[in-house]
């Protein structure tokens, strides 16, 4: 009764995606993080296979050519994509695969995997988002302005998502995701074999 699930998590830079996803992983061994491939240069605190699989542009383009990516986008001059293999394997095992990707990628995944669950994390309000972006101190003023403007663009696609998760606190938001996963795993359309068992009594 706990079918595998593809949980897609989006949200503007600074909304707390990374922290919430980490908390979810701590909470349940059934959660598996799908590490993306990227041609972007690693940040100081990032490491290969944990945050991303770091590729050259040439390597990334090779992966595209070989159809090894579930989805990919070019964003701010860098490639980002989801290696197909791991995702399919873990879902089949009954695990919950968490994909943290931006809007275009999420909508592409939904087209390929209509059964995936699209979640968008929103801040309690827009001012709070700006405050958090400035607070983390990793971005230049120019980058902050660009990210806030990007956030406004992303909000235009909220309707395309299945769930809106407000991040008013990391604990609340994490708990909300756990509820979404638990509820989705009880959906009749994900439990056809159990239904058949009861229909054939």
Residues that bind a copy of itself (CB under 8 A): 1, 120, 122, 126, 152, 155-156, 158-159, 161-166, 176, 178-180, 182-184, 186-188, 191, 194-195, 198-199, 201
Q: Nearer Cβ to a copy of itself, position 73 or 178? A: 178
Minimum distance from residue 109 beta carbon to a copy of itself (Å)? 16
Q: Nearer Cβ to a copy of itself, position 52 or 154? A: 154
For residue 86 the two structure tokens come to 């791991």
Minimum distance from residue 7 beta carbon to a copy of itself (Å)? 12
Put the strands of the sheet holding 36-38 in their side by side order: 52-54, 36-38, 78-83, 69-75
Minimum distance from residue 103 beta carbon to a copy of itself (Å)? 13
Q: Which residue has the tokens 């995944």?
A: 109
Q: Nearer Cβ to a copy of itself, position 44 or 201? A: 201
- Residues 199 and 11: their CA atoms lie apart, in Å, by 41
Long-range contacts of 135-144 (CB under 8 A, 24+ apart): 136/14, 138/43, 139/13
């Amino acid at each position: 009764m706990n079918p595998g699930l593809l949980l897609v998590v989006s949200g503007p830079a600074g909304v707390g995606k990374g922290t919430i996803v980490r908390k979810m992983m701590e909470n349940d061994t059934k959660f598996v993080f799908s590490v993306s491939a990227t041609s972007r240069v690693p940040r100081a605190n990032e490491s290969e296979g944990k945050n991303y699989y770091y590729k050259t542009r040439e390597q990334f383009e090779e992966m595209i050519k070989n159809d090894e990516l579930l989805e990919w986008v070019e964003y701010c001059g860098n490639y980002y994509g989801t290696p197909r293999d791991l995702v399919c394997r873990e879902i089949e095992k009954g695990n919950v695969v968490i994909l943290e990707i931006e809007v275009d990628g999420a909508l592409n995944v939904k087209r390929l995997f209509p059964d995936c669950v699209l979640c968008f994390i929103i801040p309690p309000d827009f001012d709070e988002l700006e405050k958090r972006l400035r607070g983390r101190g990793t971005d230049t003023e120019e980058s902050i302005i660009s990210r806030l403007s990007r956030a406004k663009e992303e909000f235009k696609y909220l309707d395309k998502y299945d769930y809106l998760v407000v991040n008013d606190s990391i604990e609340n938001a994490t708990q909300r995701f756990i509820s979404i996963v638990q509820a989705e795993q009880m959906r009749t359309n994900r439990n056809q074999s159990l239904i058949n068992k009861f229909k054939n009594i």
